Amino acid sequence: MGENRKALAFSGRIVMVGFGSIGQGTLPLLLRHIDLKPEQIVIVTGDEKGRRVAAEYGVSFHDSPLTPANYRAILEPRLSRGDFLINCSNDVSSVALIALCQERGALYIDTCIEPWAGGYTDTSITPEARSNYALREAALALKRPGTPTAILTHGANPGMVSHLAKEALLNIARDTGRTANAPKDRAGWAQLARALNIRTIHIAERDTQVAEPRKAPGEFVNTWSVDGFVGEGCQPAELGWGSHEKNWPRDGKKHDFGRGSAIYLMQPGAATRVRTWTPMAGPFHGFLITHGEAISIADYLTVKKGEQVVYRPTVHYAYHPSDAAVLSVHELAGRNWRMQDSKRIMMDDIVKGVDELGVLLAGHKKNAYWYGSQLSVQEARQLAPHNSATSLQVTVSAMAGLIWAIENPNSGIVEPDDIDYKRILEICRPYLGLVVGEYSEWHPLVDRGRMFPEDLDETDPWQFKNVRVV
């Protein structure tokens, strides 16, 4: 897709809820690739951040924080049949906005399923109720035939990584001598993953971006929403639970409702680390932060015989954020998960670095295969204004999902796994820097037990017991 090529025209109104780093980075992409006028767009957000960027593009900006008491009064006059709500917010219920869009006949997309403010950390409810699993089930419960398209969780991850995983499956099939034709449905993709013996899928990300000035004591620094990262980092660690797993985690809990594709651990994701690998970084420890794709990909690739699960890969996020964010998380943990007084999103102050984001599919004949984007901050700035390497991977995927929704307006509630991966990657690829596929002999038992004896399952390197850092 050329830099200024319009993918399609859109005649309705677009309401952007939230206008932080992701909203600001998405806006110029929409105007570049969709035939619409700035006056068709209105921004409704919770603070003054971003007003300058909105004015730069001639877009209406309203500082109107949404709450359970006022969101209908604010949004209903701005949403009619054929309009589009883009949810880039924190602390605004995705389920509430989806239900409203269904009533109004409007299209919808978000980059994660959010609760109302405080929902991630409300200690009056159980960890299970604060999980992404529960949020997903609540959103999917709104599925109704004949409703406008509502795309759940379509940023970089969750979102684009589901499409990268499908292409990675086809690449592995080709490279191991199997037929590489793309399956036509969910069952076909699941059977392909099973046939390839994909035991685990890591969404493996290493962010090396550096900003000046460096992080100060009492400051939380991140390359995207601080509130969003802290919120999901304080949720229970969650992962899709594979059928090959033999070692139940000491703190693992099952859900007694829903699709049963995932489990959670009785500790925050930001306090849970896992071993993984990317081509540029090599092996590293990442945080097992809960993410929607860990649940949806595991669910999508499940093979059942009757009600019995006969195949499912273990799927989880393995995130090494920027070094400043790692220090921020350590400081946050030392404060018993109470937020620092000062927050900063790295953007114009970033001086160098790369966000390496992809999927690591492991257990197959060639051991492990990473497939994803290696995008430097310098290239991101050249490709799109108001973006860093981290934000551009999110914003271009959000734009791609919006285009797909306009092209397919009557699909009801869908997840990234339900969408045409070829179409999404076609739109995204010019903005992803190097798109790399690389095989590795690394596995989580490499060099283990060298310094001290460890409790390992040496019968299967890809047991979660071996992946988790204890």
CATH topology of domain 8-151: Rossmann fold (3.40.50)
Domain range 160-387+430-469, CATH architecture:
2-Layer Sandwich (3.30)
Cβ-based burial of 185 (10 A; exposed 0-12, middle 13-18, buried ≥19): exposed
CA nearest neighbour of 386 among 50, 120, 143? 50
pLDDT for the residue numbered 1? 47
pLDDT tens over the chain, length 470 residues: 445 679 999 999 999 999 999 999 999 999 999 999 999 999 999 999 899 999 999 999 999 999 999 999 999 999 999 999 999 999 999 999 999 999 999 999 999 999 999 888 888 899 999 999 999 999 999 999 889 999 999 999 999 999 999 999 999 999 999 977 899 999 999 999 999 999 999 999 999 999 999 999 999 999 999 999 999 999 999 999 999 999 999 999 999 999 999 999 999 999 999 999 999 999 999 999 999 999 999 999 999 999 999 999 999 999 999 999 999 999 999 999 999 999 999 999 999 999 999 999 999 999 999 999 999 999 999 999 999 999 999 999 999 999 999 999 999 999 999 999 999 999 999 999 999 999 999 999 999 999 999 999 999 999 999 999 99
Dihedral in degrees, nearest 10, Cα atoms 23, 380, 132, 264: -160
pLDDT for the residue numbered 202? 98
Which residues are registered as beta bridge partners of 362? Answer: 200, 368
DSSP secondary-structure letter at 349?
Answer: T
- Determine if residue 78 is left, alpha or beta; phi over 0 gives left, psi from -120 to 50 gives alpha, anything else beta: alpha
pLDDT for the residue numbered 118? 87
Verdict on whether the full-model pTM lies above 0.95: yes
Domain locations along the chain: 8-151, 160-387+430-469
Distance CA 318, CA 36 (A): 38
Q: Cα(first)–Cα(last) distance of the chain, in Å?
A: 45
Distance CA 233, CA 288 (A): 9
